[in-house]
Amino acid sequence: MSGTSASMTGKASPLGEEIVSRINRLAAISETADNLTRIFLTSEHRAAADLIMGWMGDAGMRAHLDAIGNVCGRYEGQRPGLPCLMLGSHYDTVRDAGKWDGPLGLIAAISCIADLNKRGRRLPFAIEVTGFADEEGVRFASTLLGSRAVAGTFDERALASKDEAGISLREALVQFGLDPDQIGKAARRRGELLAYLELHIEQGPVLESRDLPVGVVTAIAGATRLSARLTGMAGHAGTVPMALRRDALAGSAECISAIEQSCRSGGDGLVGTVGTIHVAPGATNVIPGQAHFTIDIRAPTDTHRNRAVAEIVRQIEAITKRRSLELQLDVTHENRTVPCAHWLKAQVAEAVAAEGYPVFELPSGAGHDGMAMADIADVAMLFVRCRGGLSHHPDEHVEPADVEAGARVLLRLIENFRPRDAAQ
């Protein structure tokens, strides 16, 4: 299919080959030799930034490192100083990561611009590519530090947070050669951006199950996290009759089943996960007196998620009441759903169709830099299929043909991009 589209657009040179080879070069920059770990404000971060800025320069962009360590490249439009279409993704990783999560979107964007540059093509807007320095939040337990700085929503209090070695974010920035007091300068104004667009691997199995190389993202799902503490009565496993027990773990098990059932029947895109549980006292011959578990609920719209959370809370309250268990239920984290802008999503769909692929829409269950960027720009995302839906894992894989498909769609999208006012 990419052969057809290449002949349709009259461009013979494939984009995918260069992207895959750069993905591999970037993946070699790791804290450890036998797996991929690239953490914010480390020497690997520095080496990766230098490599990426070199690629940006080769693509005809002006590149610099901003005050939080993001790499920023700019390709001028038909005249200098025009507002930009911003493309981007992150180049930090989780520990023992896959090499595609983040870098694919960043490197594909640079290769698309290199292609424009090679043809001497300038558009009626500038294009900027931002490689976000910290999306995963591995080092300082706070995600999206890079994109929040660009969006102007960086929380100064984060500077005091410390990594495992006791080094504060402020100290780490200074050691890296950045000035923590200049982070405000990384912020961009709304008027400078026409839109923010991100290509990313799906990190889930939906596109693969539909046999599609690319998908149009409808929204980045919001999430609610809760913590549930159930207290009953510990007792001897041999002497307390079943009818007289107040078993906190058995009560939790019933709650967990109810959460699963509720999310299974709660409509499209609703997902609920109990990812941790701790039981006390925790012995074979003791009835559990206490249990503590976490709940993570996500849905493509806030109304849907809030309705599901309310229903789950109601069920947990009913179960614990019937079992005479004390309940402490707290919301520990909440973030809103970021819908992709209709006008921009329509252009993503148009580019997908023009490249000869069926247009398939899906929500993003995972968080992305677009969540922060939505504060200063309309956002949209293009997903590329990854093998088995596997991500945050060394076996994460994208087929070269899918890299080519994603890059082709992105390039077409850039070349046909119309700003909001012109698009309506």
2 vs 93, beta carbon nearer Zn ion: 93
Q: Structure tokens of 92?
A: 């930090």
Q: Which stretch binds Zn ion (CB under 5 A): 98-106, 205-213, 304-312, 350-358?
A: 98-106
Closest distance of CB 406 from Zn ion, Å:
14
Closest distance of CB 201 from Zn ion, Å:
8
**Cβ-based burial of 276 (10 A; exposed 0-12, middle 13-18, buried ≥19):** exposed
- How long is the chain? 424
Closest distance of CB 402 from Zn ion, Å:
16
Candidate list 14, 69, 102, 213; residue touching Zn ion; CB under 5 A: 102
CA distances from 36 to 64, 91, 146, 165 (A): 25, 12, 20, 20
Residue 396 binds Zn ion, judged by CB under 5 A: no
Closest distance of CB 232 from Zn ion, Å:
41
Identify the CA nearest to 361 among candidates 347, 343, 349, 379: 349
CA distances from 342 to 195, 380, 412 (A): 12, 9, 18
The residue ranges of DSSP E strands in 112-220, in sequence order, are: 126-132, 193-201, 214-220
Around 222, how many Cα atoms within 13 Å sit in the side-chain half-sphere? 18
Closest distance of CB 231 from Zn ion, Å:
38
Candidate list 18, 92, 101, 404; residue touching Zn ion; CB under 5 A: 101
Q: Which stretch binds Zn ion (CB under 5 A): 94-102, 249-257, 379-387, 394-402?
A: 94-102
98 vs 289, beta carbon nearer Zn ion: 98
Closest distance of CB 138 from Zn ion, Å:
12
101 vs 247, beta carbon nearer Zn ion: 101
CA distances from 243 to 192, 239, 240, 247, 326 (A): 67, 12, 8, 10, 17
Q: Which stretch binds Zn ion (CB under 5 A): 29-37, 101-109, 160-168, 347-355?
A: 101-109
CB 73 within 8 A of CB 53: yes
Distance, CA of 274 to CA of 366 (rounded, Å): 16
Q: Which stretch binds Zn ion (CB under 5 A): 5-13, 102-110, 177-185, 236-244?
A: 102-110
Alpha helix ranges (H) inside 168-281: 169-176, 206-210, 248-264
Max alpha carbon distance in the chain (Å)? 84
201 vs 309, beta carbon nearer Zn ion: 201
18 vs 101, beta carbon nearer Zn ion: 101
256 vs 379, beta carbon nearer Zn ion: 379
Closest distance of CB 370 from Zn ion, Å:
11
101 vs 302, beta carbon nearer Zn ion: 101
* Interaction pattern, residues 305-334, with Zn ion; x per rule: CB under 5 A: ------------------------------
**Cβ-based burial of 141 (10 A; exposed 0-12, middle 13-18, buried ≥19):** exposed
Distance, CA of 69 to CA of 260 (rounded, Å): 41
66 vs 101, beta carbon nearer Zn ion: 101
| Total chain residues near Zn ion (CB under 5 A) | 2
Phi-psi domain of 383 (left: phi exceeds 0; alpha: psi -120 through 50; beta: other): beta
92 vs 128, beta carbon nearer Zn ion: 92
Closest distance of CB 217 from Zn ion, Å:
13
Residues of this chain that interact with Zn ion (CB under 5 A) are 101-102
